[in-house]
Chains A and B, each alone.
Chain A
């Protein structure tokens, strides 16, 4: 009786381990695309894209640096990034944060407005294409001239901010 119970317990453990592996595989496959996502470091974003970013910022000016977070509505990491924004705002060491959602619906625009962080509200297809975003959430740090300083696929924007001096 005890042996049988132990066997079933072992089977249950194996099932959960198997499911955990399956889940990790489903997460790893999109992660393989992370490496090439986003604009090349050192290059400037196109002028039109920069104008669109500036127009969404208070004062219509980029800071040094500005953190641009590319997010989609249904990606897990994007949701974690947005949920983490209130905390991360205190760790940005003077950098501005700008959210660039992909084709946001009305409710998402309202939620972003409630967040109190600037975001690009109009069509962002061209901006996404110019920034060569293939994986999200992508955070890109750009300087005042629109040159890419750093980029990371991460749900923590403060990791891309410059260190405190």
Chain B
């Protein structure tokens, strides 16, 4: 029964995550703070085009969320491309602060944590590409379980990584936390 519902669970989980990612980007555009996003602030070119870039990627994420359900193989490849881009641009992100990923629900605070999470997402994509599942709500409960497992593993790797690294020392020195104001 597991094996039958796993592909549709992966499909639903991935779709939901990309929908959340799209929401987070849309929220950033709405708050007019795209130019200060840690990835887009890096170069003058991206700073000056930040709202456009953020809006485009919000649309790509939204499209991915639907394609993964409607046309799984194309959606899976689309998701692969987006995940590769996001993993690549997150390389230089300062450790210790959340990545603001997936509407801050599946946040990671270190690059190893982000790699672990995205690695697990790639595994889900592989399952989708191999099985080409028909969309079905029977996978919904398992999708929730998969997301919970993913969150637990990524948070664990994050905690280990930050405890071992400089960010962990900073936390022990009681350094500032972001307020997370909405």
Contacts and interface: CB of A to CB of B under 8 A. Distances in A.
Does B associate with A? yes
Interface of A: 8, 11, 15, 19, 22-23, 26-31, 33-34, 37, 70, 72-80, 82-84, 102-103, 105, 107-108, 110-111, 114, 128, 133-138, 153-155
B149 to A, nearest CB: 15
Contact of A133 (B44, B176, B182): B176
Interface residues of B: mostly helix, strand, loop or mixed?
loop
Contacts, number: 116
A14 B31 CA distance: 26
Interface residues of A: mostly helix, strand, loop or mixed?
helix
A11 B174 CA distance: 41
A107 B105 contact: no
A74 B179 contact: no
Contact of B31 (A23, A34, A83): A83
Contacts of A70: 176
30 contacts: A8-B137, A19-B20, A23-B104, A27-B180, A27-B181, A30-B177, A37-B176, A72-B176, A73-B94, A74-B93, A75-B179, A75-B180, A76-B100, A77-B181, A79-B28, A83-B32, A83-B33, A83-B34, A83-B35, A84-B32, A107-B43, A108-B41, A111-B41, A111-B47, A114-B47, A128-B176, A134-B174, A135-B176, A153-B179, A153-B181
A114 to B, nearest CB: 8
Interface residues of B, number: 37
Contacts of A138: 176
Interface of B: 16, 20, 28, 31-38, 41-44, 47, 93-94, 97-100, 103-105, 107, 137, 140, 174-182
A102 to B, nearest CB: 7
